[in-house]
Chain A
């Protein structure tokens, strides 16, 4: 497909479990972003990659959150020891250039921590 692909679409985790969320950006897109969207809110910035370099991780809420993009393409967002407040939709987006340009979003992963 031509769009941003995220998997899984839904994830239910017991509190304390680790989860890994995957993002396949549009081929050739330089920039990759992770956002967290709580119910009724807009997407909140988590972290940004330019190719394989993580240039900004200021939005990660705690050291339980970790993101990587080792080859500058696929990215994984990992959440360790999940807590109930981590329940949200996690959106991945990519853009063609490093400067300002529209982001192309995936459909997100809805994480529910029980």
Chain B
């Protein structure tokens, strides 16, 4: 069962513009959400997280927005840089169960 969905397998943006990656979830028990970044032949690396008590969390060029009523979150990267080119995974977990569920990933390409 796909509890976390990333419906866009790929996204291409120009350097300097905004990248917006989207994620939807179905399990209303999820209350902790994360974005991971993955380069080829490496494991996913934690990027940014948000708990369900917030609707926005910002860290430098990266901002995560959470819309609990829509069960939707998004990652904004601005300005996008070529080094941001990677696969981005959305993940979610619930306090009652510490296993994290991942989306299928979105491959971001930032063109110079």
| CB nearest to A35 among chain B residues | B102
Q: Does B32 contact A (CB under 8 A)?
A: yes
Nearest CB of chain A from residue B64's CB, rounded to whole Å: 13
Q: Please classify how large the interface on chain B is, using the bins under 10, 10 to 19, 20 to 34, 35 or more.
A: 20 to 34
CA distance A35 to B104 in the complex (A): 13
Q: Please classify how large the interface on chain A is, using the bins under 10, 10 to 19, 20 to 34, 35 or more.
A: 20 to 34
Q: Does B11 contact A (CB under 8 A)?
A: no
Nearest CB of chain A from residue B54's CB, rounded to whole Å: 13
The answer to whether A103 and B100 touch (CB under 8 A), given A43-B44, A91-B43, is: yes
Do residues A42 and B45 form an inter-chain contact, with CB atoms below 8 A? no
Q: Using Cβ atoms and an 8 Å threshold, which residues of chain B touch A35? A: 102
Do residues B93 and A100 form an inter-chain contact, with CB atoms below 8 A? yes
Do residues A93 and B97 form an inter-chain contact, with CB atoms below 8 A? no
> Which single member of B6, B43, B101 contacts A108 (CB below 8 Å)?
B43
> Which single member of A55, A100, A104 contacts B32 (CB below 8 Å)?
A100
Q: Using Cβ atoms and an 8 Å threshold, which residues of chain B touch A50? A: 98
| CB nearest to B47 among chain A residues | A102
Nearest CB of chain B from residue A64's CB, rounded to whole Å: 20
The answer to whether A105 and B45 touch (CB under 8 A), given A40-B104, A42-B104, is: yes
Q: Using Cβ atoms and an 8 Å threshold, which residues of chain B touch A56? A: 97-99
Do residues B43 and A42 form an inter-chain contact, with CB atoms below 8 A? no
CA distance A50 to B101 in the complex (A): 17
Interface string of A102-114 (1 = CB under 8 A from B): 1111111000000
| Chain B residues at the A interface, C-beta cutoff of 8 Å | 4, 6, 9, 31-32, 34, 36, 41-46, 49, 51, 89, 91, 93, 95, 97-105
The 10 closest A-B pairs by CB, nearest first: A105-B43, A42-B102, A102-B46, A100-B32, A45-B99, A42-B104, A43-B102, A107-B43, A105-B44, A42-B103
A100-B31, A106-B43 are known contacts; what are 15 more A-B pairs with Cβ within 8 Å?
Answer: A40-B9, A42-B102, A45-B99, A45-B100, A56-B97, A56-B98, A58-B99, A59-B99, A91-B44, A93-B43, A100-B51, A100-B93, A102-B46, A102-B49, A104-B46
